[in-house]
Structures are given as C-alpha cells and as structure tokens.
Structure 1
Amino acid sequence: MEFPILIAFFAFIFYLRYVPDKRSESEKEEDRLSENIALYRSGDLSKAFDTFDQRIKQYPQSSISYLYRGLCNKQMGNLTLATKDFLTGISYDNTFADLYTELGKVQRETGQLEDALTSFTTAIRVSRGQAPEPYHQRGLTLQVLGRGPEADIDFATEEFIEQQEAREKQNQTETKRPPWFDRKLLLNIMLVFVWSALLIVSIKAASSIHLPYLTAVVLSVALGFAEPDRGWILATTQCITLLVVYMYVMDRPSSQARTELEYFMLFGAIGLTFMTSFLGAFLKKAISS
C-alpha cells in the first residue's frame, strides 16, 4: 500500500512541476539556451551566429534560435536576412513578443512605418501589455508618424510598467528570510513529539509493516509541508525521538520474531521519514510557485 501511495505522490508532484507551466515553447527554450544567449550578449556576434545557425539546423522550428540569429544578422547589417529570421520564428511561435518587437525595429529602420506599428501593437497584445519595450518602440514609431499624443500615452505606459517592475524587484530584495529558530519551528517540534508517539504506538500495536509505514508517510509529508526549508530539522528530531523512545523507554517483545518485526518497522519508518519529508517540502514549493 505504501509504495502505490509514493508512486501516486511522485506523479502528483510531476504534474505540479510540469503540467501547469503556461509558458510558450519559445520561453521554455530561452531558459535552455541561456548560455548561447549569453554568448550573443557578450558581443561575439560571429560565434553567436554560428551557434544559433547550428541550432536551427538541428531544430528547424526553434523560434528562439531564429530570434537570436536574426539579431546577429541585424547587428552585422544584414537587415533582409534578419527580417526573414524574425518572420520564420513567428511562423513557428506567434506567441513570442520579442520576435514582433525586433521585426518592428527592422521595419522602422527600412521605412515600413505602418508595418512596424502593427508589429509593435502585436507584441503588446502577445505580452498582455506587461512588457515595457514594445510600448517604447511603438511610441518612437508614433513620433515619426507625427502622432505625438498617442506616443506620449505609450511612453507613460512604459514608465508605469518599469516603475511597477522596480517596486516588485525592491519588494523581493527587501523580503527577509525567517530566523533560523522561531516560535513556529518550536511549535512544529512539539508536534513532532506527538507524531513520534503515534508512530511508536503504531509500531507496537501493528501486526504487519503497513500501518507504521503508512503512518510514517502521512506524518512525514506533513513535516516537509509545514517547514519546506527547515523540514530536515523536524525529520531529524522525529528520527532521534523514535530511536531514543523505542530503545530506552519501550519494553522489548518477548519473542525474537516480534522483535525483528518491530525493528524492521522502526528503521523503515525512519527511512520513510527522511524521504517523504523531502517530498512534502517539494510539494509545498511546487504549489507555491
């Protein structure tokens, strides 16, 4: 029974970790290609171009690779090739705002102002109005078109988004980690003693390993869930408590077979405590994210 529960628990964590990810494929690939992107940002255009060109040969539908190969082409003055790369990337993923933004920049440079305006507007729509760069670029294009009041609105929106991002970043920076030992941890440690007593009772009363192991799984998951960062303290406390109480407080069984069974249940419960407390912490972090 215990092992099917663990398998189901692993499956649930896998679901939380991967299924709810709402990012587009290009956004996910951007994370995977972070080293290649860093190469482009370092200014080594020739090497960066070769890297993304090779990536496209291996994965012809890699929109993020088309974006950065297009940027390399743009930096090297190949605006026609850059436009082709951006359009190809959009054809594979039309939810990636940076492709529309960079396409719009090239269109503006080549005098295609209305097309550029459309590209920047699409970038704003695709990014759900949360990215400042498309507003800035559309504002510049509106200025060139002589539509100053509309440009001012875009610049004001850009400034608002940047201020909002700055506040969020400052709040994250100012967030302090909880102290290593506090009242919450003390209360949880007291609760661990109660749970350890339940485990000891289940070990002494059970006629098979199922009840103690199931109890250990449920209680240890709760340990990690209650303290995702300090759960190891609770798990260690519980294991030490189990050993000390069983070895020095509880009476030994009269039969050798019963003694061996209780030892098997005791040390199995200790192993499950560490394993499933970690899973409980992982579950809490997966839900929180």
Structure 2
Amino acid sequence: MEWLVLFFFLPFVLTLMFFNWLEEKFITIKNREKLEDGEHLIHHRKYKEALSFFTEKLKRFPKSAKAHYYRSLCNLQLGNLYSALYDIEQSLSFDNTVGESYVTKGKILYKLEDYDGAFLEFDKADWHFRSENPIALRWRGIARYQIGQRKNAIEDFQQAVQLGDEDSDYILRTSFEYIHKI
C-alpha cells in the first residue's frame, strides 16, 4: 500500500520541485534585465534615485541578492552605513559567492571603524577572487595596517601593485599617508 501512495505522490512532488526551480530561474533572468536602469543611475552617481529604484524592486523581488547589493552601494554612498550593512548582509544571505559583496561589506565595516571585521570580509573577498583582484588586496592591506599587521599590509599592497593598482603604489610611496585620510 505504501508503494502505491509513493508511486502516485512522487511524480507530483517532482513536478512541483521542477516548476519551483523554473520559476526561480525565470524571475532571476527577468530581474536582471530590470535592474539595468538602476545600475545606470548608480553609474551616473544619482544615488537617491537609484536607492528609490532598488527599494521598489525589492518590494516585488525581496530575495534578489543583486538588488540588495545595489541598494547597499547606494546607502554606502549616501552615508547610511547601517542600512548599507543590512542590505549587504541580505545580499550575502541570498548569494554568498560574489566577491564584490564582501568588498562592499568590508568597506562598510571599515567606515564603522570595525577594522577586524573589515579585514575578515576583505580576506573572504580575496579568497573568492583567488588573489587576482587588486581592489580586494588593497583594502585588505588597509585593514591590516589599521589592526597593526604592517608587514602583511605591505605584502598586500605590493601584490596589488603587481596586478596594476596605482592606488596601492601611491600608498606605499607616501608611507601610508593616504590611509589616514580615508
């Protein structure tokens, strides 16, 4: 008897799982196309308009990691650090494979003067980028400098310079004066 119930119930469950998966993929593709307008606003530094745009998108697609990420960028640029931190954490909860999200979270924590937390986020970003992103290396070096790991910070800056980062070169040439201005 159990086999008979399983025989009829299993195709139903598999069909529901397939359509749920298909719906998620369709929404992701559709959502990506609709976020281009907001990306354009960010590119032109219209952060308040972009913030409103992404807030509206998140009302319709609350699980959009990319919309949370972009809203976090807007909040960061507008100085709303705790809102930016909330959004980037939401973004990472939906998709924790994007290195840029860890860089953004690290920048937010750095601005909140949580240098240890910022270092950990920049380290995660560097892991995701496989040590091939000079921005992640530079920011990790800056955070390392703040927590007293000067030798390791210099190594991060030198590695970023090898990848073509002029800001890291400037930091090394000016004896870390740039870090004190951030």
Residues 1:109 and 2:111 aligned together: yes
Matches for 1:1-289 after TM superposition, within 5 Å: 33-162=35-164
Displacement of 1:30 in angstroms is 6.2
TM score, norm. by length of structure 2: 0.69
Displacement of 1:33 in angstroms is 3.1
Q: Distance in 2 between matches of 1:30 and 1:122?
A: 25
Q: Distance in 2 between matches of 1:97 and 1:33?
A: 19
Displacement of 1:52 in angstroms is 1.0
Q: Distance in 1 between matches of 2:118 and 2:95?
A: 19
Greater relative contact order (Cα < 8 A, sep 6+): 1
Mark the CA change 1:119 to 1:38 in structure 2 (over 3 Å): closer, same or farther. Answer: same
3-state SS, counterpart of residue 97 of structure 2: coil
3-state SS, counterpart of residue 39 of structure 1: helix
Q: Distance in 1 between matches of 2:72 and 2:63?
A: 14
Instruction: Look up the equivalent residue of 1:97 and give its one-letter code.
Output: G
Root-mean-square deviation (CA, aligned residues, Å) is 2.3
Q: Distance in 1 between matches of 2:33 and 2:141?
A: 29
**Structure 1, residues 41-92: CA drift from partner, whole Å, max 9, x if none?**
2111111011111121222121111111011112222111100000000000
TM score, norm. by length of structure 1: 0.44
**Structure 1, residues 158-204: CA drift from partner, whole Å, max 9, x if none?**
122237xxxxxxxxxxxxxxxxxxxxxxxxxxxxxxxxxxxxxxxxx
The alignment of Structure 1 onto Structure 2 pairs a total of residues equal to 138
**Structure 1, residues 211-256: CA drift from partner, whole Å, max 9, x if none?**
xxxxxxxxxxxxxxxxxxxxxxxxxxxxxxxxxxxxxxxxxxxxxx
3-state SS, counterpart of residue 162 of structure 1: coil
Counting aligned pairs with the same residue, the percent is 26
**Which residue does the alignment assign to 1:204?**
none
**Structure 1: stretches of 5+ with no match in the other structure:** 1-25, 164-289
Mark the CA change 1:32 to 1:135 in structure 2 (over 3 Å): closer, same or farther. Answer: farther
Mark the CA change 1:34 to 1:131 in structure 2 (over 3 Å): closer, same or farther. Answer: farther
3-state SS, counterpart of residue 79 of structure 2: coil
Larger Rg: 1
**Structure 2: stretches of 5+ with no match in the other structure:** 1-27, 166-182
Q: Distance in 1 between matches of 2:162 and 2:151?
A: 17
Q: Distance in 1 between matches of 2:115 and 2:32?
A: 29
3-state SS, counterpart of residue 57 of structure 1: helix
